[in-house]
Amino acid sequence: MTTARPVLIIDDSLMIRNMVKRALVGAGYTVLEAKDGVDAVDTLAAGADPVLIVCDVNMPRMNGIEFLEALRESHAGRIPVVMLTTEGQPEMIRKARTLGAKGWLVKPFKAPLLLAAVDKLTSAGV
């Protein structure tokens, strides 16, 4: 028996984590949560093997850009990342793409757009 690999949700807002979780669980995904980049690095170091990561930009301790840098060191592009932010932030988008982010959603995001991005990126690697 195989267990579906989870989607890791990283956001310092419990409300946003819950919104993302609700959309993904409703579509049949399992999820893991982290409250910032440090928490996410710890989760991965403890053996979590997410199929995809949904990551906020603005967070305390370690922000989304810093997390992408850490993830590149530890996982070298093996886990696709969709970034979430509250506004366009073109410079952040450019930087995130340079660091390997595969998608971008502006909050408040629409659940169908989130699911479309997650479905596309999780099936692309198969």
Judged by the rule CB under 5 A, the positions of this chain that interact with Mg ion are 12, 56, 58-59
Q: How far apart are CA 98 and CA 108, in angstroms?
A: 24
Q: CA torsion 103→91→66→71, rounded to 10°?
A: 30
Task: Tell the smallest beta-carbon distance from residue 57 to Mg ion (Å).
Answer: 7
Shorter beta-carbon distance to Mg ion: residue 50 or 64: 64
In the chain, the amino acid numbered 37 is G
CB-based contact 57:49 (threshold 8 Å): no
Rounded to a whole number of angstroms, the minimum distance from the CB of residue 83 to Mg ion is 11
Least spacing, CB of residue 115 vs Mg ion, in Å: 21
> Which residue from 101, 103, 109, 92 is spatially nearest to 57, judged by alpha carbons?
92
Taking the least distance from each CB to Mg ion, the nearer of 43 and 122 is 43
Nearer Cβ to Mg ion (42/87)? 87
Give me the least distance between CB of 2 and Mg ion, in Å please: 33
- Dihedral of the CA atoms 47, 58, 84, 76 (nearest 10)? -40
- Ramachandran bin of 9, using left for φ above 0, alpha for ψ from -120 to 50, beta for the remaining angles: beta
Question: Measured from the CB atom, is 49 or 87 closer to Mg ion?
Answer: 87
